[in-house]
Every structure is written in C-alpha cells, then in structure tokens.
Amino acid sequence: MSPLPPLPEADELSRVVIDDYVHARWVALTARFDAVMREKLTEDALAAGWAQVEEMVGAYKGHGDPAAKRVTDEFTYTDTTLNFEKGELIARITFRDDQTIAGLFLLNPEFVAATEK
C-alpha cells in the first residue's frame, strides 16, 4: 500500500460509476475509462456482463458505502457492496489520479475477504 491517502473524490466517483453501471449507461461509463480500458472493454461487453450478473444473482437492489484505499502512488480502488435479489457482490473500481477508470470488477465477497487477510 502507498503512504499517500486515497484519491479524495474516489467515494463519489464510485457512486457515479455504479449508478451508470446498474442503469445500463454504457456510453457514460466507458467515457470514464482510461485508454487501456477503452481498448479492452466495449459497451457490448459491459452489457453482456451485466446480463450475466443478473442471471446469477437477480435484480439489483442497492449498494452500500464505498471504501477507498490507495494501492500505489498512481492508483486508488474502492470496494462497494452491491445488493441483489439472490446475494451480494463487491464492485471494485480502480481509479487513476486523473479520475479515469483503470479497473472494474464484480467480485465474490468471500474472495475479497480472503484476499484482505
């Protein structure tokens, strides 16, 4: 972990990103991607991934508060619990200091808990 504090805007940015994600605003979401993410993750792939999530855990119900951590001098990530009809997932969003998205993952809470030990 970096000795620097997390990106000050990380919590609010993650709320906006999650809102765009769960409301299928793929254009708005990809506009926040850094160059690598834009190249690797298309709007169609986001839509297909979200459809698969809904198949597995049901309809989105809401989310908890983001928790931000600085992992390197350049990156901050947030973990936010997403609640669905059939369970929970953790949205892990990695931000660069310029506020672009460098990573976007939906993770099993058990995996997140195990990796933080």
- pLDDT (tens digit, 9 = 90+) per residue, 50-82? 999 999 999 999 999 999 999 999 999 999 999
H/E stretch holding 79: strand 75-84
What pLDDT score was predicted for residue 23?
Answer: 96
What pLDDT score was predicted for residue 54?
Answer: 96
What pLDDT score was predicted for residue 61?
Answer: 98
What pLDDT score was predicted for residue 4?
Answer: 87
pLDDT means per 10 residues, the chain with 117 residues, are 88 97 97 96 96 96 96 95 98 98 96 86
Q: Could you state, in order of their start, the residue ranges of all structural domains in the chain? A: 10-115
Tell me, yes or no, if the pTM score tops 0.85: yes
H/E stretch holding 89: strand 87-96
| DSSP tag of 86 | T
Q: How would you class 81 by CB atoms within 10 Å of its CB: exposed for 0-12, middle for 13-18, buried for 19 or more?
A: middle
Assigned CATH topology for domain 10-115 = Nuclear Transport Factor 2; Chain: A, (3.10.450)
Give the separation between CA 93 and CA 29, rounded to whole angstroms.
Answer: 12
